[in-house]
Structure 1
Amino acid sequence: MSKTVIEFTDFTFKYRAQQEPTLHKINLKIHEGEKILIVGPSGSGKSTLAHCINGLIPFAYPGETSGTLTVKGRDTKELGIAGLSEVVGTVLQDPDGQFVGLTVGEDIAFSLENAAVPVREMHERVEAAARAVDIQELLAASPQELSGGQKQKTMLAGVLVSNVDVLLFDEPLASLDPYTGTGAIELIDRLQRETGNTVIIIEHRLEEVLHRPVDRIIVMNEGVIAADLPAAELLSSGLLAESGIREPLYLTALKYAGCEITPEMNPQHLNGIKLETGAAKLRAWYEASEVPQEAEAAPVLLELRDLTFGYDKQAPVLQGLSFSVRRGEMLCIAGRNGAGKSTVSKLICGFYRPSAGSILLNGRDLAADTIKERAEHIGFVMQNPNHMISMTLLYDEIALGIKLRGFAEEEIRERVHRVLRICGLYEFREWPVSALSYGQKKRVTIASILVLEPEVLILDEPTAGQDYRHYNEIMEFLRGLGSTGITVIMITHDMHLMLEYAERTIVLAEGRKLADARPEVILTDRNIVGSANLKETSLFTLAVKAGIDQPVEFVRRFIECDRGNRRG
């Protein structure tokens, strides 16, 4: 048995501003060289557990503790946050919040400069860390100019350069496209094998993390450890559903077909799963399932015609982009980091002006409209919630827009409270925004736009950092907006979201429209998936493994069935 590197013993923690503990009697051992995945719904205590390990609790976020927590045999209270930083390196889910240098090289070297490491040794260690994560060509680049994947690699190099024993990742996939996310999981796996570091990953996207093996999965729920099991055992139990965590889609499909999930099936990874009896059941389910009916097309609400734009006129980001969106439609825009997805949304909102082409709303050209005039009809929720929030208290933040529009106080309160309940924020209505988690702040920004009831609602990564329950609550609410005529446009890297909710997907690649089709068609076309850094849905792979002759139709029928089951 390898040495214990982290040990919680009857550990309880209560934040100073709260009446009840967030963590209750935690008993947990993490051994040297293990790779651990921690999952759980929002508010389950998983981030608090991580903050205890890296020293943010109690040194940055004070509160009351009981029991003990040791790292490498020493009590964390004795080590202090500086001592813990020499053992535990943390990669945050918000890359921009962790940069301190003007260049990639400066950022990686930050901890070495603080430790007064000699310059020659510093250069050698920075270059070695950069090579380990494959960004050695970017040492002179500005962190703000990097893609999402490159930013994450920079943060990881900044942790590796200190030769820490434990690598702690807080939602490493939150800002990455599927292809880059897969690369991140492979990179973490390779580094763990090469260095022997202990790796702890906190992530909502269970299926994506299981692209590479983990030793154990710890399920947090309501401040306690609900499960601590190998992946095969956990996926064969009902604990994920009980804890409000989304299981891999291919397992849901097998269950719909009447298959029992057992550890012997190797359910933790689709490539190794055993389908001796499951294949026939899947084929039978497919043959018996209903063929989805096509919805009647609504009139066009928003139209982009031959749109061209570039931050530098010599290097256009978008070239001749055309597509239309129908009233009440739920549309996804997908593509790799830097494909122009967010730029499209900013052009629609009027933050930028196209160099050529036009944007029409209800058949009227918006070229002469100001940002304020467009905001009467078009709402935009940014990817990073910290870029939108301006008020101290949560209630005031959500009420701000309708206050500025002159609504009566009674109506403001009614609309704000209704949206707070929908977004799972009602109990926090009197809280300061600064006390909320990243995922909760994300819901605050969505709520602040939903309360305005726009004709078109554009959301940049709406479900990033959300647990499965809040993801479903928000998405079901957004889906319901279609019946009122509100059009929802989502920019997303979440392939589950695209499959489960989008009626249509626009795929961008190198500033051009690569595809415009139903999501199940997009995510089963290997040419499109490869060109746009998407990820082929595991449902398609499962259908092929089961010998289903029309795997695309299988995906479509599964999605229709799953929507019906989810909506009761």
Structure 2
Amino acid sequence: MLPLIQFKEFSFQYQSQAEPTLKDINLDIQQGEKVAIIGPSGSGKSTLGQCLNGLVPHVYRGEIQGQLLFQGQDLLASSIVERSLLISSILQDTDGQFIGQTVAEDVAFALENDALETSVIRDKVAYWLDKLGLTDLAQQRPQDLSGGQKQAVGLGGVLIDESSLLLFDEPLANLDPQAAHESLQLLGRLHEETGSTLVIIEHRLEEVLELGLDRIILMENGQIAFDGNPNQLLASPLLTRAGIREPLYLTVLRELGMELSADQPLDHLATLELPQLSLPEVSPAKSGQEAEVLAQWTNLSFAYPGRPVLFENLNLQLRQGELVALLGKNGTGKSTLAQLLSGYLPAQGQYCWQGQEVTDQSLADRANQVGYVLQNPNQMISQTMIFDEVARGLRLRGLAEAEVAAKVAAVLEICGLTPFRNWPISALSYGQKKRVTIAAILVLEPRVLILDEPTAGQDQAHYREMMDFLQELAGLGHAIVMITHDMQLMLEYADRALVLDQGKIIADQDPRQLLSQPELLTQAHLRTTSLFELAAKLQADPLALSQFYQERRKQA
């Protein structure tokens, strides 16, 4: 039987680039397979997806060599409309995919194009809105939703069309842990019911393993470095070499001395047989002295015009030197709170900076104290070239060009962008664009830095580099707030976890303590890390195992 998809000696070079992004790709994908494509930022995995869905070459121009076939037919000869009938895709940047004026219209768009009966469209739309938890948002504009809700809308617009191949580019990037888990379960059920082929481009390998993948494709430098069984990859050193984060439970099992081999079900902790392993003694976590309060908000209240009150009498302190994780389910107001704290939205209540009330200060003065990096990099970028984007804030402040150049060069190095400093931003991946926006705020050196999903779409190397840098900033007295759905990031780096739900902070505590409260996690759509499942199998204290992991990570 012919493969559903075939790449034969396939190469692609963007018009703006001197070297090919994809080089000599040979890849077959069979009907009904579940395939994950992983790789570090800039490895070419998103470009490979764009070749499948037709954005290359119909939107992103360049030179193609080799063949791309769909059931033996030349896919390159098809128009982007013809391609969409064969392959449904959800883009990494969901804002670029919305068509409808409302959520319901957007989900219905593909069926309307297919000229289905109105009653059929209504029934299918209602079904998928319910499945994805979007029923109450049906009449809202997709652009007004949170990042995770936007992701769910994009997912609905793809799933409703029931194409033979479903292509997802970072589908979990903006979803809270429970929503990500439910989305993967939904994809698994869809695969079982329809036999559709799933191709998922994703950094979050551990979560995607839930699907029971048939194969994993690892890309490096525009080429396929591995194509095979998940367990073969998990037992090898290839993930570490490529800078991809392996499942947390495997990292800890290696640290405990377990030998991993490809004949074990490494992709499924529940069925993995463990030898007798002993947990070394760990030092109890030390509680440091409370540092100076940098920023304090008292009785913070806010409502969007014509909508119910979102926050009422909320109180929050941020201290110098702390790394704070702000968590909560999609749509609970985390990004709105960040905009209130940074002064982008007007709020009632009192704001104090280092003990002095400055509630009525200008936005420019607030920006010198509190920097905010948005979730979607495309909403921040205003310049054509990377260097100019990062330099813009410094130039607006009137710094000499020599000083601008030195500061920009330093932050580009920190953010892993030095090799791209003379590139146009349009040539970057979504994850690389995110690093550009982080660099543009970091270079201004605010004392409080709020980052909305700073590591979403980042590979392990840039994740570590960025988080280690944020730790360095905290060590210098900055307060860092990370809005995140990444429970491992919270466990590894945060000193403090704030959980937001229905306009209230329902928890403000040590991350390990948070992870040991299942009822609270369920309420906030959060999930424990795999360390807690591993601890149960080892009959060990999950907090002690978490402490062991944290100590080993710091030593490394």
Whether the aligned pair in 2 keeps the contact of 1:291 and 1:557 (CA below 8 Å) is no
TM-score, normalised to structure 2, is 0.95
Q: Whole-Å Cα distance in 2 between the matches of residues 148 and 418 of structure 1?
A: 30
Residue 564 of structure 1 is matched in structure 2 by: 555
Task: Give the equivalent residue in structure 1 for 2:256.
Answer: 257
AA aligned opposite 2:42:
G
Deviations 1:7-32 (A, max 9, x none): 11111121122222111111111000
Contact 1:93 1:175 (C-alpha < 8 Å) held by counterparts: no
**Paired position in structure 1 for 2:265:** 266
Identity %: 46
Partner of 2:28: 29
What code does the residue aligned with 1:101 have?
Answer: G
1:464 equivalenced with 2:456 (yes/no): yes
Q: How does 1:349-428 map to 2 (within 5 A)?
A: 349-355=342-348, 357-428=349-420
Asked if residue 316 in structure 1 is aligned to residue 309 in structure 2, the reply is yes
Cα displacement (A) at 1:144: 3.5
CA RMSD of aligned residues (A): 2.1
Instruction: Look up the SS of the partner of 1:227 in the other structure.
Output: strand
After TM superposition, give the deviation of residue 3 of structure 1 in Å: 4.4
Change (3 A) 1:338 1:242: same
Change (3 A) 1:73 1:412: same
The secondary structure found in structure 2 opposite 1:254 is helix
- SS in structure 1 at match of 2:210: coil
Letter of the aligned partner of 1:337 in structure 2? N
2:443 to 444, 448, 451: 451
The one-letter code sitting in structure 2 at the alignment partner of 1:245 is I
Gaps of 5+ in 2: none
Deviation at 1:87, TM superposition (A): 0.3
Paired with 2:555 and 2:85, the residues of 1 have a C-alpha distance of: 51
Q: CA deviation at 1:149?
A: 4.7
Partner AA of 1:471 in structure 2: Y
Q: Which amino acid aligns with 1:164?
A: S
Structure 1 contact 524–537 (Cα < 8 Å) conserved: no
Contact 2:13 2:19 in 1 (8 A): yes
For residues 314 and 89 of structure 1, the distance between their equivalents in structure 2, rounded to whole angstroms, comes to: 35
Are the aligned partners of 1:417 and 1:426 in contact in 2 as well (CA < 8 Å)?
yes
Find the counterpart in structure 2 of residue 338 from structure 1.
331
Supply the distance in 2 between the matched residues of 1:335 and 1:510 (Cα, whole angstroms): 9
1:554 aligns with 2:553: no
Q: Which whole-Å CA distance do the structure 2 matches of 1:317 and 1:39 have between them? A: 38
1:398-454 CA distance string (max 9 Å, x none): 111111111111110000011111111112212222222111111111000111111
Residue 293 of structure 2 aligns to which amino acid in structure 1?
Answer: V
Residues 315-345 of structure 1, C-alpha deviation per residue, up to 9 Å, x if partnerless? Answer: 2212332232211211111111122222222
Per the alignment, residue 499 of structure 1 pairs with 491
User: How far does the alpha carbon of each residue in 1:258-308 deviate from its partner, in whole angstroms, 9 at most, with x for none?
Assistant: 111123432112222211x1xx32xx3332x44443334322212222323
Counterpart residue number, 2:211: 212
Instruction: Judge which range, 291-300 or 199-208, deviates more.
Output: 291-300
325, 345, 348: which one aligns with 2:341: 348
TM-score (norm 1): 0.93
Structure 1: which amino acid aligns with 2:214?
D
Give the AA of the match of 2:545.
F
Partner Cα separation in structure 1 for residue 509 and residue 131 of structure 2: 39
Q: CA deviation at 1:464?
A: 1.1
Distance 1:478 1:136 in 2: 38
* Aligned equivalents of 2:220, 2:373: Cα separation in 1: 29
The alpha-carbon distance between structure 1 residues 207 and 294, as it changes in their structure 2 partners (threshold 3 A), is same
Query: 88-97 or 33-42, which moves further after superposition?
Result: 88-97
Structure 1's unaligned 5+ residue stretches are none
Taking the aligned partners of 2:132 and 2:398, their CA distance within structure 1 comes to: 52
Letter in 2 for 1:76: L
Check whether the contact 1:149–1:181 (CA below 8 A) recurs between aligned residues: no
Give the counterpart letter for 1:20 in structure 2.
Answer: E
Aligned equivalents of 1:144, 1:232: Cα separation in 2: 40
1:199 and 2:184 aligned: no
Partner residue in 2 for 1:38: 37
Structure 2: how far apart are the matches of 1:264 and 1:525? 35
Q: Is the 8 A contact 2:100 2:106 kept in 1?
A: yes
What number of residue pairs does the alignment pair up?
556
Amino acid in the other structure paired with 1:396: D
Deviates more, 1:431-440 or 1:173-182: 431-440
- Aligned in 2, Cα 1:177/1:123: closer, same or farther, shift over 3 Å? closer
- SS of equivalent residue, structure 1 residue 265: coil
Question: Following TM superposition, by how much is the alpha carbon of 1:128 offset from its aligned partner in structure 2, in angstroms?
Answer: 5.9
Change (3 A) 1:485 1:131: closer
Is the Cα–Cα contact under 8 Å of residues 298 and 316 in structure 2 kept in the other structure?
yes
For 1:59-458, list aligned pairs within 5 A. 59-117=58-116, 119=118, 122-123=121-122, 126=125, 130=129, 135=134, 139-146=138-145, 148-275=147-274, 277=275, 280-281=276-277, 284-287=278-281, 289-311=282-304, 315-355=308-348, 357-458=349-450
More displaced stretch, 147-156 vs 470-479: 147-156
| In structure 1, C-alpha distance between the alignment counterparts of 2:422 and 2:132, rounded to whole Å | 43
Structure 2: how far apart are the matches of 1:555 and 1:481? 24
Amino acid corresponding to residue 214 of structure 1 in structure 2: L
